[in-house]
C-alpha cells in the first residue's frame, strides 16, 4: 500500500448487540489485506467487538434509534479504528479486572471490556465529547516490536549524545 494513500472505510451499525460482528468481519478483511498475522487479527477483532459493545451499551444506552459509527483508516504500517457513539464517554479509567475479587463476589463478574481493549491493541484512547458524541480510538501496528526497538535506540542515542 502506498504511504500516501491513506484509505478509510466507514460503517454505521445499529445499536443492537450482535451487530458488532459486522465491524469484526470488516476489520478482519482489512487487516488480512494489510498483511497482519492471524494472532493480531484475532486481537483486533476482540478489541473492536468490545469497543462496539461498550458504545452500544454505555454510550448509546441500547437506544436503537442511535447508531454506532466505525471508521477503519489504513496506513502503510498501521490500522486505526475509531468507534463512535452518542454518549459522554467513559466516566473513569477502568482498573484491570481482579479475578479473585470477582470469584469472591467483591466486584461484578462483568467489566472487562476496556481492559481487554487496552491489552490487545498497541494504542488506545478514549475521547469524551458530551456535545458531539464520544469515541474510542485504537491502533494496531504491523511491526510493533520494530517500532518499540527504534524508540529504545533513539533514547540510547540521545543519552549517548548527552
Partner 1 sequence: MAEKTTQARVEEVQSASGAPVTVLRYTGDITSASKAAVLGTYQGLPAGTKRILLDFSGVDYLNSSGIALVIQLMIAASKGGQIVQTFGLKPHFIKVFTMVGLTRYTTLHPDEKTACAAFTA
- Under the rule (CB under 8 A), what is the footprint of partner 1? 17-22, 39, 42-43, 46, 49-50, 53, 97-100, 102-103, 105, 108-113, 115-116, 119
Shortest gap between Cβ of 153 and partner 1 (angstroms)?
29
Backbone angles phi, psi at 83, to 5 degrees: -120, 115
Shortest gap between Cβ of 149 and partner 1 (angstroms)?
23
Backbone angles phi, psi at 124, to 5 degrees: -150, 140
* Cell digits of residue 124: 488506545
- Partners of 69 in the β-ladder: 12, 84
What is the DSSP code (8-state) at residue 96? P
Shortest gap between Cβ of 107 and partner 1 (angstroms)?
10
Can you tell me the distance from the alpha carbon of 63 to that of 87, in angstroms, rounded to the nearest whole number?
11
Identify which of residues 1 and 103 has a Cβ nearer to partner 1 in the complex: 103
Amino acid at each position: 500500500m502506498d504511504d500516501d494513500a491513506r484509505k478509510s472505510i466507514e460503517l454505521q451499525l445499529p445499536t443492537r448487540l450482535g451487530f458488532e460482528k459486522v465491524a469484526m468481519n470488516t476489520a478482519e478483511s482489512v487487516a488480512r489485506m494489510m498483511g497482519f498475522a492471524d494472532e493480531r487479527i484475532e486481537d483486533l477483532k476482540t478489541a473492536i467487538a468490545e469497543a462496539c459493545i461498550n458504545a452500544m451499551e454505555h454510550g448509546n444506552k441500547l437506544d436503537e434509534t442511535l447508531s454506532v459509527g466505525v471508521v477503519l483508516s489504513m496506513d502503510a504500517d498501521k490500522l486505526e479504528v475509531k468507534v463512535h457513539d452518542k454518549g459522554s464517554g467513559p466516566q473513569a479509567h477502568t482498573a484491570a479486572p481482579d479475578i479473585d475479587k470477582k470469584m469472591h463476589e467483591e466486584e461484578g463478574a462483568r467489566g472487562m471490556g476496556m481492559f481487554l481493549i487496552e491489552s490487545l491493541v498497541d494504542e488506545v484512547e478514549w475521547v469524551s465529547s458530551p456535545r458531539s458524541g464520544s469515541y474510542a480510538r485504537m491502533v494496531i501496528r504491523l511491526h510493533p516490536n520494530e517500532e518499540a526497538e527504534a524508540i529504545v535506540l533513539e533514547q540510547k542515542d540521545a543519552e549517548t549524545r548527552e
